[in-house]
Structure 1
Amino acid sequence: MRNLQTAPIWTAEELGHPIPPDRHAISVCLPTWESVIDYEEGRDKVMKKLRAGYPRFFKHPLIERLFAAAAKELAVESERVIVLPHRAAAQRAIKYIEKRAGVAARVVSYDGLQAVIVPDTAYAVAMEYWRFSGEVVTSRQAQDVLEGDGLWEYDSTELRQRLAGFGDYRPDSVFLYESGMSAVYAVHRAISSLHAGKKTLQLDFPYVDVLKVQNHFGVGTVMLHDCCGEPFDEAISRIRTGEFAAVFCEVPSNPLLRTVDLEAVSLACREGGVPLVVDDTIASVYNVNVAKYADIITTSLSKWISGKGDVMAGCVQVVEQSPYFENLREHLSDDCPDQCRLYAADAAVLDENSRGFLERIAPVNDNAEALVEMLLSHPLVDQVWYPSIHDQENYQKVQRDGRGYGGLISFTLKNEKHSAKFFDELQLSKGPSLGNEFSLVCPYTILAHYDELDWAEACGVPAHLIRISVGAEDREVLLGAFRKAFEVIQK
C-alpha cells in the first residue's frame, strides 16, 4: 500500500481518492480550498468523484449498495431505507424521525441488521440520525452482508484490556461502540437517565456533532464557548447548584486546542452532584490523564489509537473513583452487551492497529512541537493554537509525566486571502479526520461549520482557520512541505 508519510494524497487529480488508499478508508482527498466549498455545497463536480468519505457524513459505496438492496426487498413506492446495526438503534431512530419529521416509520430485521423504512420526505431526517447518533453500519459490516458471508463474532476481551492499559483503567469499565459519536450518544443517554429533564452544559467550543447530540437528543444544552473570566465563574456557580444533567468538555478542545480548568470544574461538579464527561481524543490518553477529574471519559478510537484511518470505533471509560461508577456502568452494561457494540471485523482491525499506538504517538508529539515553533516564528502566520500555548497551566494538570501536547495544531495567516493558495500548495494529504500516522490537513471551519460561519466566528473560530493533524513522518518532510507552501505565497 502507498506510504502516505512519503507519498501524500494531495493533488487536484486525486480529488475524491480514499485516504488512506484502502477500501475501508474513513477520509477522502479534498485537495483544494475550492473543492471543500464545492463539497459543502454538494456540487456534482466534486460529489461524483468521491470514492470515500467520513462514514457518518458520507455513504460508502458498500453502504449505498446495502441500502439499495434493503429498499428493493422491503420498501414500496415513495419509501426509502436506512440500515442500522441493531434493534435498539433502530427503535431510537424511529422515535427521532417521528419527532423531527412528524411521520411514521417502521423497522424490519434484515440479514442480522435492522432496516428502518421511511417516507421519501423523511429520508433526510433519517440520515440526520445516522450522522448525529454515530450508530452506523460500517463498510466491513455491509461487505459481509452483501457478499453473503454473514455477520461474525469477535472476542473483544484482549482489545479492551489493551485499551484499558493505555489509561490504567479497569477493563470491566471499558465499553466499545460503533464510533466516537456513538460513544458520546451512549453517555448522553446514561446521564439523561440519572438526571432527566435537565439541560447539559458544554464547556468551550466543541466538535460540531457533540453539540448536536446534546441539542437533538436531550432537552438542550447551555454552551460557554470561552471558559475564562466572569462567564466561567458564573458557570462554576451554576454547576454547584446542581442545575445541569452533566458537564461536557473536550481536553483539549477542537479546533482551538484550549484546556478547561478541569480541577475547578470537577470540584464544582462534586459539590453540585453533576457528572463530568470529558473527551480525551485530541491529545490522546498517551499524553493526558483526565481520569483524576472526570466521571466518564469518551474517546474516538478512529483517531490516534487506530492511527491508520481505516476503521471507525469509539470508547467509553467509566472512572472507578466516580460516585456514579456503579450506576453508569450498570446503564452501559445494559446498553452495550458484552461491553462491545463494535462489529467483529472492525474490532479485529482496531485490535491490530492499536498495537502500534504507543510507538506512533511519541514522534507525533515531537513533530508537532517542531511545526508549532516554525509557525510561531513565521512572518506570514497570524495565530497558532496548540496546548503548549493556550491554557498551558490547565493542560499541565492533566498532562502525563514526560509526555507531550499531541498532534493537532490550528493556525491562521495574517492575510486571509492567502489561505486558499497556501492550502492548495501544501504537499500533505488533505481531507477530514485526524489522528493518523500520516499528516492530514483541512480548512476546518469551512469543512465543519460551512452553514454557520458567522456563529463560529462569533465563538472565536475564524473561517480561514487551517487545522493540521501531524503525523509520524520524517520531520523534514513535514517542515519542508510547509516551507514550500510559504515560499509560494511569498512570491
Structure 2
Amino acid sequence: MTITTTQGQVALGLGIPAFTPHAISVSLPTWRDNVAYEEGDKRVVDVMVSGYPRFFIGLNIRKLAEICANKFGVQGEQCMLFPSKNIAEQCREFVERRSALEGTPFRPRLVQFLITPEDNAPSELEGASADLHIALYPSAASGHAKQFWQHTGLGISSRLADYCLAMLKKGNESPTTPPLRTKPSNRHYAAKGFAKGAAARTESIDDSQSNYLEERYGRNLPLAYGPSAKRALRRRIAGVLEQQHVINTSICEEPAMGVEGLAVGPSSRISEMSESDVFLFPTGMSAIYNAHRLATALRPAAKSVCFGFPYTDTLKILEKWGPGCHFYGTGLDAEIADLEAMLEKQSKEDPSRPPILSLFTEFPSNPLLRSANLPRLRALADKYDFLIIIDESIGNFMNVEILPYADAVVSSLTKIFSGAANCMGGSMTLNPRGRHYAALKARMQATYEDTYFDQDAIFLERNSRDSLRRIRSIDENTEAVCDYLRSRSIAGGASDGVIKQVYYPKYTTPENYELCRIQDGGFGGLFSVTFTSLKASEAFFDALPFLKGPSLGTNFTLASPYAVLAHFAELPWAAQYDVEEGLVRVSVGLEAKDVLLESTARAVKAAEEASR
C-alpha cells in the first residue's frame, strides 16, 4: 500500500511517523485538510487511522472499549477506559458536575476489569495483569467524557490497550458490538476518526511486523524493566544522572538501569534536588492537571491565574476545575502591572487569605514563544503567597533553568525529551528551595499514584538517552531557519516581504528568556510565523516539504496551522491575543541545515507568488 504522496508527504490520515504502531501524530498535509478536519469533513475524518492521543482515541483503544462495553454495558451505553479507580472516579465526578450545569445530570457507572494472562501466555505476558477501570455512561454524556479524556490526558495508552488485547485474545474474548461512535453536543470534542473502514486503511502492518518494529527500532524490553526505566527517567530529569552514562548505556547493560549502582553526580539544576522530587505522569497534560489538583488540595480556595496565551487545555483545566481563572492573555511585562493591581485589590478585600491560588505560565509560550518575566512574577508570589507552576515543555530544561522561580515545574516529555513521537509522558518537579516545598512534597508522597504504563516508560527512557545531543543540533538548525525568515520579515526590516513576524525566543521577549537561558543553551526548536495575508500563509504551509500534523519536539520537522487546529471554533477570540488564523507553527528537526534552509526558501517563494 502506498503511504506517501508524490511530494513525499505521508498520505492524509495516516500516522506520523510512518510505520510506527504507536505514532502520536497524524498526517494533515494541506491547509485545506486541516480546515476540513476541524469541520468534520468525511473526506478527512473517514480516512484517519491515527491522531494525537488526547484528541484521537486510537483504534486499538476503541477495540478494547467495544469489548468492555459489550461485556459490562447495557443498551445505549458507551465507555472510557482508565488505569486506576481513582481516575475513573474523577471522570465520573467531572461528567456528573458538567452535565448538571447543562440541566441533565449523568452519573457514570464504574466497573473494574482485572485481566490476567492465561497459563500458556507468551513470555511477554508472563507474571503481569492489567487492571482496567471502566466508566460507563449514556451516549448523551459522551461529550463530557471526551472532555475529561482530552483535558486531563489520563486515559489508558495505546500500548496498554495492546497489552490487554493480547491477553484477551488468549482468552478468546472478541467484540460483538459495532464500533463505538459519539455525537457530543460540543463539536470541538467530537471523536474524530471514528471512521467507517478506517481500520482497513492502516499501513499494512500485521502483528508480527508491529512487534518487530517496536523491538528493533524501539529496543523493546520486558515490562519487568519498567520500574528501573522510571527511576532512570526521574534521575535524568533531576539532572543527577551523569551524562556519560546516559549516552553510553547499551542494551546489554540494561539490568543496571535505574538501580543503586548507577554513577550519580551533583544536580545540574538545583544542588539539593533529588530524583524523589520528580513525579512521572502518562502525559504532559496530566502533569499540569495534577499540579492544579495539588494546589487546590493544599491552599485556600481562590481563582488561579493563567499568565500568557497557553496551550488550550491548560486554560480549560484552570477554568473547569476549581473556582475559576484570571486570564492575562498576552503574557507581556505590561500585564504584570495589571496582575499586581488585581492582587493588591483582592488582598485588601480579604487580608485573611492569599488573593489567588496559583499562577500557571509557559516558558516560553505556545505558539507565540513569549517568555514571562519570571523574577517579577516570583516576587509577587512571595509577597502575596501564591504558588507558581511553570510549563517548560517548549524551552526544555536543557536550554533554560526556570526551577528557581517556580514551586513546581511541569513538562511534556512526549516532546523533544523523547523526540521519536512514539510514546507519551509527563513530569512534575518540585523546587526543594520553594517556600511551600515541605507541604507540596508531603502531599505528593501521600497521594501520588503511578499510572504510567511500564512499557511507555521503557520506550521513553531509551528515546531520551541522547536528548542533549539532539537538542543541541535542533537548536542550531532552528536558529538558522529563523534568522533567514526574520531577515525576510517586515518586523526584521524587509519592507516588501510577505512575512509579518517570526515568533522565536531570540527575537520575542529576549530579555526575559535570557534571564533563564543556561550556559550553552539555545533557543529551542519551535517557532511560529505570520504573513500579510491568509492566502500567503496557506501557500507557505502547503509548499513546505516537511511532515504536517499535530505535536512538536519531534526529531523530524513538523508543521501545523496552529490556530486552525487549536482554536478553530474561537478564532476571533484567539486573534485578540495575536494568535492569528494564518499563523504557521514549525517544530524543526534533525535534517541537514542546508536542506532546511533551501526548503524554507522555496516555501517563502510560494507565499510571495500567492500574494501577487
The TM tier, using the shorter chain, reads over 0.9
1:172 CA displacement: 0.3
For structure 1, the residue ranges without an aligned partner over 5 or more in a row are 1-6
Q: CA deviation at 1:239?
A: 4.1
Change in CA separation of 1:230 and 1:160 when aligned onto 2, cut-off 3 Å: closer
Gaps of 5+ in 2: 100-104, 116-130, 171-221, 241-267, 348-353, 489-496
The aligned residue for residue 104 of structure 1 is 107
Give the Cα–Cα distance (whole angstroms) in 1 for the partners of residues 436 and 275 of structure 2.
17
8 Å Cα contact 1:237/1:268 also seen in 2: no
Deviation at 1:369, TM superposition (A): 0.7
Verify the 8 A CA contact 1:198 1:244 in the aligned structure 2: yes
Within 5 Å, give how 1:32-71 maps onto structure 2: 32-71=30-69
The CA distance in 2 between the partners of 1:176 and 1:9, in whole Å, is 41
| Residue number among 302, 318, 328 corresponding to 2:430 in the alignment | 318
Change in CA separation of 1:435 and 1:179 when aligned onto 2, cut-off 3 Å: same
Instruction: Answer yes or no: is the 8 Å Cα contact 1:9–1:430 preserved in 2.
Output: no
In 1, Cα distance between equivalents of 2:356 and 2:608: 50
**Letter of the structure 2 residue corresponding to residue 73 of structure 1:** K
**2, 12, 15: which one pairs with 2:12?**
15
Separation in 2, partners of 1:11, 1:43: 24
Counterpart selection for 1:207 from 306, 311, 327: 311
SS in 2 for 1:398: coil
Matched residue SS, 2:404: coil
Give me the whole-angstrom Cα distance separating, in 1, the residues matched to 2:238 and 2:343.
30
Deviates more, 1:445-454 or 1:95-104: 95-104
Q: Is the 8 A contact 2:533 2:582 kept in 1?
A: no
State the distance in 1 between where 2:333 and 2:425 align.
36
Name the amino acid aligned to 2:459.
V
Show CA shifts across 1:314-359 (max 9, x none): 100001101111211222223324xx43110100000100101011
Mean alpha-carbon deviation: is it higher for 325-334 or for 71-80?
325-334
- Specify the alignment match of 2:257 in structure 1: none
* The one of 165, 180, 186 aligned to 1:146: 165
- The CA deviation at 1:401 is 1.1
In structure 1, distance between residues paired with 2:544 and 2:302: 46
Q: 2:84 maps to what in 1?
A: 86
Output the CA distance in 2 between the equivalents of 1:490 and 1:231. Answer: 36
Q: Indicate yes or no: 2:173 matched with 1:176.
A: no
Partner of 2:546: 428
CA contact (8 A) 2:80 2:155 kept: no
> For 1:1-31, what per-residue CA distance to the aligned partner results, in whole angstroms no more than 9, with x for missing partners?
xxxxxx9997577101211120100001100
Relative to structure 1, is the Cα distance of residues 10 and 116 closer, same or farther in structure 2, using a 3 angstrom cutoff? Answer: farther
Partners of 1:376 and 1:9 lie apart in 2 by: 30
SS of the residue corresponding to residue 356 of structure 1 reads helix
Return 306-315 or 240-249, whichever deviates more. Answer: 240-249
Identity %: 32
Residue 234 of structure 1 and its aligned partner are, at CA, apart by 2.6
Structure 2-normalised TM-score? 0.77
Instruction: Give the deviation of 1:237 after TM superposition.
Output: 4.1
Cα distance in 2 between the residues matched to 1:303 and 1:9: 28
Q: Deviations over 1:292-315 (max 9, x none)?
A: 111100000000100111111110
Q: 1:57 to 1:294 in 2, by over 3 A?
A: same
Counterparts of 1:82 and 1:46 in 2: how far apart (Å)? 24
Q: 1:11 to 1:449 in 2, by over 3 A?
A: farther
Distance 1:225 1:74 in 2: 45
Q: Give the SS at the match of 2:65.
A: helix
Partners of 2:455 and 2:343 lie apart in 1 by 42
Distance apart, 1:246 and its partner CA: 0.2
Map Cα deviations across residues 225-266 of structure 1 (whole Å, 9 max, x no partner): 123465421313444643110000000001000011000000
Is the deviation greater in 212-221 or in 151-160? 151-160
Greater Cα offset, 188-197 or 254-263: 188-197
Structure 1 partner of 2:235: 161
Tell me if the contact between 1:11 and 1:31 (Cα under 8 Å) persists in the aligned partners.
Answer: no
- Which residue of structure 2 aligns with residue 399 of structure 1? 517
Secondary structure of the residue aligned to 1:292 is helix
More moved, 236-245 vs 442-451: 236-245
Indicate if the aligned counterparts of 2:5 and 2:11 stay in contact, CA closer than 8 A.
no
Deviation for aligned residue 1:36: 0.3
CA distance in structure 1 between the aligned counterparts of 2:603 and 2:500, rounded to whole angstroms? 16
Between the aligned partners of 2:331 and 2:563, the Cα distance in structure 1 is 20
Report the counterpart of residue 306 of structure 1 in structure 2: 418
CA contact (8 A) 2:526 2:586 kept: yes
**Is the CA contact 2:82–2:154 (under 8 Å) kept in the aligned structure 1?**
yes
**For this pair of structures, how many residues does the alignment match?**
485
Contact persistence 1:135–1:182 (CA under 8 A): yes
Residue equivalent to 1:385: 503
Aligned 8 A contact 1:205 1:254 in 2: yes
Task: Pick one of 586, 592, 598 that aligns with 1:480.
Answer: 598
**1:263-274 equivalent positions in 2, closer than 5 A:** 263-274=375-386
1:4 counterpart residue number: none
Alignment match, 1:375: 485
CA deviation string 1:103-152 (max 9, x = no partner): 12111012311000001110111111001111121000000001118995
Match for residue 334 of structure 1?
446
CA contact under 8 A between 1:385 and 1:410: conserved in structure 2?
yes
Report the secondary structure of 1:25's partner residue.
coil
Query: Which position in structure 1 is the counterpart of 2:465?
Result: 355
How many angstroms does 1:459 deviate by?
A: 1.4
1:449 equivalent among 567, 573, 581: 567
Structure 2 counterpart of 1:253, one-letter code: S
1:222 aligns with 2:222: no
Which residue of 91, 96, 121 maps to 2:140?
121
Query: Partners in 1 of 2:460 and 2:75 — Cα distance?
Result: 40
1:3 aligns with none
- Aligned twin of 2:249: none
Q: Aligned AA for 2:296? A: S
Matched-pair contact (CA < 8 Å) for 2:304–2:325: yes
Q: Which amino acid aligns with 2:422?
A: D
Aligned partner of 1:343 in structure 2 is 453
2:394 alignment partner in structure 1: 282
Quote the Cα distance in structure 2 between the aligned partners of 1:302 and 1:333: 24
The CA distance in 1 between the partners of 2:135 and 2:480, in whole Å, is 49
Distance 1:447 1:229 in 2: 28
Distance (whole Å) between structure 2 residues aligned to residue 13 and residue 435 of structure 1 = 18
SS at match of 1:438: coil
Q: Helix, strand or coil for the counterpart of 2:383?
A: helix
Asked whether the equivalents of residues 414 and 425 of structure 2 are also in contact (C-alpha less than 8 Å), the reply is: yes
For residues 269-311 of structure 1, the C-alpha deviation after alignment (integer angstroms, 9 at most, x for no partner) is: 0111101100100011110100111110000000010011111
- The answer for the alignment partner of 1:29 in structure 2 is 27
Q: Which moved more, 1:227-236 or 1:19-28?
A: 227-236
Q: Secondary structure at the match of 2:137?
A: strand
Q: Which amino acid aligns with 2:526?
A: L
Equivalent position amino acid for 1:131 in 2: Q
Q: 1:473 to 1:239 in 2, by over 3 A?
A: farther
Contact 2:336-2:377 at 8 Å conserved across structures: no
Partners of 1:479 and 1:286 in 2: CA distance: 25
* Residue identity in the other structure for 2:93: K
Query: TM-score if structure 1 supplies the norm length?
Result: 0.95
Question: Could you tell me how far apart the structure 1 residues matched to 2:312 and 2:17 are?
Answer: 24
